[in-house]
A and B are shown apart, each in its own frame.
Chain A
Amino acid sequence: MSKRKIKVLVAKPGLDGHDRGAKTVATVLRDQGMEVVYTGLHQTPEMIAEVALQEDVDVVGLSILSGAHMSLFPRIREELKARGMGHVLLTGGGIIPVEDMETLHSQGFAKLFGPGTNTVEIAEWIQAEVEKLWSEEGAKQ
């Protein structure tokens, strides 16, 4: 019968026209058996959170190369929470300095990935994290 599949939203927030990375990651996650929704470019935090809700995703992966991550990422987190989607695994990647990654991590973001990351590593990390979340959810039921 249908087995639960990991559903991932790959999103491009803000004024950033470069989505080769996002598309590459989306394709790799697809090839690892996940169901991947891609938003397209120039999404506002509200739009990303709304899509996450409508699609009931397990993971939101943000791709950003514009440098606006410190203002956009926390807002996306707030918008997700406001919609009852605070439980999703929130991750991302792009050009993000290590200090910023640490700050975002302390704000509740999971691991963030920089340039040169092995794509399969991202997929395996997501797989492991979501399975953890699902087993916690199962324990609560």
Chain B
Amino acid sequence: MRDPKTIAAKLFEGDRLALSRSISWAEDADPRFPKTLACIWERVGKARRLGVTGPPGAGKSTLVNELARHLREADRTVGILAIDPSSPFSGGALLGDRIRMEDRTKDSGVFIRSMASRESHGGLARASVDACDVMDAFGFDEILVETVGVGQAEYDIVGAADTVLVVLCPGAGDGIQAMKAGLLEVADILVVNKSDLPGADRLQTDLEEATHTRDIRRDGWEVPVVGVSAAKDEGLDKLLGAVDDHRAHLERVGLEAVRRQKRAQQVKRVVGERLDEELWGDGGLGGRVDSALNAGSTAYDIAELLLQDVLGGKLMAQTRDSKTEAAH
């Protein structure tokens, strides 16, 4: 299993090791991954992708486990991707989400992959979308993506999932929190987990008020607030009903167009990564910065020079400048 074609063929045969290995290639930025993806691309796009995000301790893993169980009861196969944070100091990570999903390990209709966020800071890992694509091509009906525990402004999940669940629980802030810009705005469905705990009703009301007083989203979807207790298996059917409703909504407004928009974000990110590598990787153009600074240039001048080298003179600002000059 060392070349993209073999691994793609194995993946189509349902070989779980091939699935696992190609996700590793994506994570390690192995040059074989883009080739593998090209071989399996025709089969990417059938799965529903559901993102689960929210603050640490809100019950994301427990909820994902319960969602997976319910989906399995409905005879849907499930791929799960669970992201945990990497240490900014050692680069290491402790991936512990599986512990809450242990019951699913014995089920051959479920595949769980833990992933460290590595150098990403948007709640996912760099290879998260890639892992979803591979699981999709493998043939899972449903893909559940659990982000790292997030604060108020980590939105990468929007680019990775068709439907985003933001999971909150009582005791983590008042109505003002619900009015703030940020995480709540990316939710397609707001989930109040631990709905059996005191304060859950209040949180639910605050969130409902916050969503109702906000302008209806441009795409016309009204964000529902669903109370569940994942640990006690309460409200899961209602939540999955809301997921179905959102899916139907997406199909009405044009699922493919929405997905292309999200895919475009990935293209943008990959370009950024490649530029980073070209500029700041070993032997990259960025090596000239020190001597240029030493020669007395400003940061802006140096940046301009580097960009001209990277883009071969096709700079937008430059074209604009020369047009303005010509007009004068």
Contacts and interface: CB of A to CB of B under 8 A. Distances in A.
Nearest to A58: B24
Nearest to A46: B106
A1 interface: yes
27 contacts: A1-B277, A2-B29, A4-B28, A5-B116, A5-B118, A30-B92, A31-B90, A31-B92, A32-B92, A33-B87, A35-B95, A36-B93, A36-B94, A37-B96, A37-B114, A38-B95, A39-B99, A39-B102, A40-B99, A51-B98, A53-B16, A53-B20, A54-B111, A54-B112, A55-B20, A56-B23, A83-B17
Interface in A1-44: 1-5, 26-27, 29-40
Nearest to B106: A47
Contacts of A36: 92-95
B273 interface: yes
Interface string B86-108: 11001111111011001001100
Interface string B70-99: 000000000000000011001111111011
Most buried by B among A27, A38, A54, A84: A54
B113 interface: yes
Given A50-B105, A54-B113, A37 B98 contact: yes
A32 B29 contact: no
Contacts of B119: 2
B199 interface: no
A31 B87 contact: yes
Nearest to B100: A40
Interface string A87-127: 00000000000000000000000000000000000000000
Contact of B94 (A26, A33, A50, A53): A26
Contacts of B21: 56
* Residue in B29, B91, B126 with the greatest tally of chain A CB atoms within 10 Å: B91
The 6 closest A-B pairs by CB, nearest first: A30-B92, A56-B20, A40-B99, A2-B29, A33-B91, A4-B28
User: What range describes how many residues of B lie at the interface?
Assistant: 35 or more
Contacts of B24: 56
Nearest to A38: B96
A31 B89 CA distance: 8
Question: For chain A, which range describes its interface: under 10, 10 to 19, 20 to 34, or 35 or more residues?
Answer: 20 to 34
B2 interface: yes
A46 B92 CA distance: 27
B313 interface: no
Nearest to A6: B92
A141 interface: yes
Nearest to B112: A54
Nearest to B87: A30
Contact of A53 (B17, B273, B277): B17
Contacts of B86: 35
Contacts of B114: 37, 55
B56 interface: no
B27 interface: yes
A64 to B, nearest CB: 18
Interface string B246-281: 000000000000000000000000000100010001
B17 A141 contact: no
A84 B16 CA distance: 10
A85 interface: yes
Contacts of A51: 98, 105
Given A30-B93, A37-B95, A2 B87 contact: no
